[in-house]
Structure 1
Amino acid sequence: MTIESALVNDMSGSGLDNVVAAETILSHVDGNAGQLIIRGYHLAELASWTFEQVLELLWSGQTANTMTATDIRMQLAGARERAFALIQPQTRALTPVEALRLQLSALSDTETCPHYIMAVAAVPVFTAATIRMKQGLAPIAPDPSLGHSADFLYMLSGVIPSVEQIKALDTYLTTVSDHGLNASTFTARVIASTEAGLFSSVIGALCALKGPLHGGAPGPVLDMLDAIGEKANIKTWLRDRLERGERLMGFGHRIYRVRDPRADVLKEAVSALQDGSDRILFAGQVEQAALALLEVKKPLRSLQTNVEFYTALVLEAVGFPRDSFTNVFAAGRMAGWTAHVLEQERLGRLIRPQSNYIGPSPR
């Protein structure tokens, strides 16, 4: 056995699983019980909140000034206008997440707007502009009279969205706003602990989110539904993929050993948005068939519906192209990233874990 292969074998169990690396007041994930608690509230309780209300909850006590959801809405509106002036047309040649990474990097540490406000405001501005520029269309300036989710959809299409569309996007952004110490949030906290600043911290978090092992696969859920095509093909298509050892997109989660609670919240949101539509009904049929097959094919593993499955349907329904889904996820998770950065900065302690050396001894 070579040194390299021995190294891989010795580190195969690494990943910091079950290691407590921080104490936080922000969120708690109970994978065995299928619960997500965000600052004292079960996720289902927050499903009716606006995104600004969730920001108020996460930022409460962590910023220099106390802000209500109304204050946050007004400050975000002004920050979106500031971010619009920073759009870089050359990013049309990049993927949406690469374009977002580049444009967030242009935010200056000397920015006078509170950085946590600007970070949250900038994501929908840059994302909507990139989508439109890649379609050969001009970016649409934000409308400061609109709330955050409504303005995101307006900048995307140029049309004032319906109440149902706004509600669906608010629910999505709220649902993904925070989720314990996941890879991107941990990245943000490590960078914040060096006092590098909030923008550097959330850009690092976005880079971690970009990785397919963390960012998930909501886009490929739609590819799966498209490939299945119609009800008569569902069981055959799914069974064929499982027999070939392939993963069914939208099922299974690293943490949850039961159904992902976010899936139920988003299922309700998309059902209200497109009540009785063929797409939603078809997706439900695919979900039920997949769960039944997974129970038979993989009886020792609990592979339940995860957040990706209904994320894909919600974001498709409100008009986002599937290659931009990671950006929209980042728009929601920016709430948690900024809150964790603020929390870490208040601690004022460098995160510096130890490692075990398992290489060769000096000769």
Structure 2
Amino acid sequence: MFSKGLKDVVAVQTHIASVDGEIGELRYRGVLVNELIPAHSFEEIAYFIWHGELPTEQNLKYLENELRKGRDLPSHVQTVLDALPMDVSIMDALRTAVSAFCHTHFLTKSMNEQAIILTAAMPVIAARHYRKQQGVAAINPNPQLSHIANYLWMLTGKIPTSIQVEALETYLTLTMEHGLNAATFAARVTISTESDLTAAITSAIGTMKGPLHGGAPSGVIALLEEIGTQEHIKQVVEGKLQRKEKLMGFGHRIYKTEDPRSILLRDKCTSMYGQDAWLDLATVAEKEITTLLEQYKPGRKLYTNVEYYAAAIMRSIDMPPALFTPTFSMARIIGWTAHAIEQLQDNTIFRPQSEYIGNK
């Protein structure tokens, strides 16, 4: 039976994550994200997705140390980055630099070790190429900082505030994994040929680059900037609804109720109320916009999606739009690598059929 885009076709059985759009549930390894994520760091959640259990204190220290070591890019990868023209996009720089990890020393490591190295390298690559595009010198990693804090440090040269780190960390832990999306499927298809992890992640990055998949929440930022202050929410939003304009950040193709990731991000932003003007605006605006949507589009159940609060967080830390998808990718690589490793544990090469409809 033909299904365009393989919609609703089950192609994979997985232990890694499940998405139930009807009731609005996202689970990592069977555990609801709202139970798992608030109490754990990026590093702990990454370990959980890779191994199916939370790390012991010893395992966490090992992972944190290996991630710090992985921030030191091999000299040939740095040379590749230095050779890229400034107008090459950051996603293209990621794809090219990651593909350069296919050297013998790297390939002799276990896949779990490779996953850690590539995870550590992603934010370093993105930050280096971003600063190159800005015409400023690269900033060396800071071994005293966590994975997320170091990323922000390498972008700006400033130690980020705890508010910035907490907000971004919550967003990135919520986007590590989300079922068999296009990029994850691409990674599994590539690794199913018994290729290597580097090739699988390169395939995933190329897929994520497409605007239909890894599109940035720029539209939400534009909405929040147009609103500007809490006093203007109703005026701006009602004007858009009366003109039948789409409100970016509301509605999701999978979730028929509230996006569980959005709920957690809202809770995080609410807990920080009064400490960041953009996060404050987003939390107040969501309530008013949801009420107005129910008045103008009754029964449609248009709730915020993860992009809404992602946009607020990105705006609050002055993250430029060119970094939105690369930043998303540095979280999603956790899921990509987990799926690639799982695929090889019970592998069958993907070989769907095509239906010829041309001239006979």
Tell me the distance in 2 between the aligned counterparts of 1:124 and 1:270: 24
Residue type at the aligned position of 1:97: M
Tell me the distance in 2 between the aligned counterparts of 1:297 and 1:175: 31
Counterpart residue number, 2:51? 60
Counterpart residue number, 2:261? 262
Question: Aligned to 2:32, which of 38, 42, 45?
Answer: 42
Residue range with higher mean Cα deviation, 23-32 or 85-94: 85-94
Change (3 A) 1:109 1:31: farther
* Alpha-carbon offset, residue 291 of structure 1: 1.8
Change (3 A) 1:353 1:82: same
Structure 1, gaps ≥5 residues long: 1-9
Residues 91-126 of structure 1, C-alpha deviations (whole Å, 9 max, x = no match)? 532232222222223222534253212221111001
Residue range with higher mean Cα deviation, 146-155 or 247-256: 146-155
Residue type at the aligned position of 1:289: E
Counterpart residue number, 2:86? 92
Tell me the distance in 1 between the aligned counterparts of 2:314 and 2:105: 31
Counterpart residue number, 2:150? 151
Change (3 A) 1:345 1:323: same
Tell me the distance in 1 between the aligned counterparts of 2:249 and 2:323: 17
Counterpart residue number, 1:51? 42
Residues 295-336 of structure 1, C-alpha deviations (whole Å, 9 max, x = no match)? 244335332100001111223333422221111100111100
Residues 207-262 of structure 1, C-alpha deviations (whole Å, 9 max, x = no match)? 22222222243222112211233445433433443455442111111110011111
Residues 142-201 of structure 1, C-alpha deviations (whole Å, 9 max, x = no match)? 123332112212212223333333333322221111011111111111111112211111
Given that residues 107 and 199 in structure 1 are in contact (C-alpha distance below 8 angstroms), is that contact kept between their aligned partners in structure 2? Answer: yes
Given that residues 27 and 179 in structure 1 are in contact (C-alpha distance below 8 angstroms), is that contact kept between their aligned partners in structure 2? Answer: yes
Counterpart residue number, 2:280? 281
* Alpha-carbon offset, residue 343 of structure 1: 0.5
Counterpart residue number, 1:105? 99
Residue range with higher mean Cα deviation, 84-93 or 246-255: 84-93
Tell me the distance in 1 between the aligned counterparts of 2:48 and 2:214: 24
Tell me the distance in 2 between the aligned counterparts of 1:111 and 1:25: 30
Given that residues 24 and 258 in structure 2 are in contact (C-alpha distance below 8 angstroms), is that contact kept between their aligned partners in structure 1? Answer: yes
Residues 1-46 of structure 1, C-alpha deviations (whole Å, 9 max, x = no match)? xxxxxxxxx98x7232322111111001111111110012211122
Aligned residue pairs, count: 347
Residue range with higher mean Cα deviation, 53-62 or 122-131: 53-62
SS in 2 for 1:80: coil
Tell me the distance in 1 between the aligned counterparts of 2:38 and 2:213: 23
* Alpha-carbon offset, residue 51 of structure 1: 1.3
Given that residues 16 and 339 in structure 2 are in contact (C-alpha distance below 8 angstroms), is that contact kept between their aligned partners in structure 1? Answer: yes
Change (3 A) 1:42 1:76: same
Change (3 A) 1:191 1:300: farther
Does 2:78 match 1:78?
no
Q: How does 1:287-302 map to 2 (within 5 A)?
A: 287-302=286-301
SS in 2 for 1:36: strand
SS in 2 for 1:15: helix
Does 2:8 match 1:14?
no
Given that residues 83 and 121 in structure 1 are in contact (C-alpha distance below 8 angstroms), is that contact kept between their aligned partners in structure 2? Answer: no
SS in 1 for 2:72: helix
SS in 2 for 1:92: coil
Counterpart residue number, 2:200? 201
Counterpart residue number, 1:311? 310
Tell me the distance in 2 between the aligned counterparts of 1:169 and 1:111: 33
Tell me the distance in 1 between the aligned counterparts of 2:75 and 2:267: 33
Question: Aligned to 1:31, which of 18, 21, 30?
Answer: 21
Which TM-score applies when normalising by structure 1?
Answer: 0.87
Tell me the distance in 2 between the aligned counterparts of 1:25 and 1:182: 15
Residue range with higher mean Cα deviation, 123-132 or 152-161: 152-161
Structure 2, gaps ≥5 residues long: none
Tell me the distance in 1 between the aligned counterparts of 2:273 and 2:288: 21
Q: RMSD over aligned Cα, in angstroms?
A: 2.5
Change (3 A) 1:140 1:276: closer
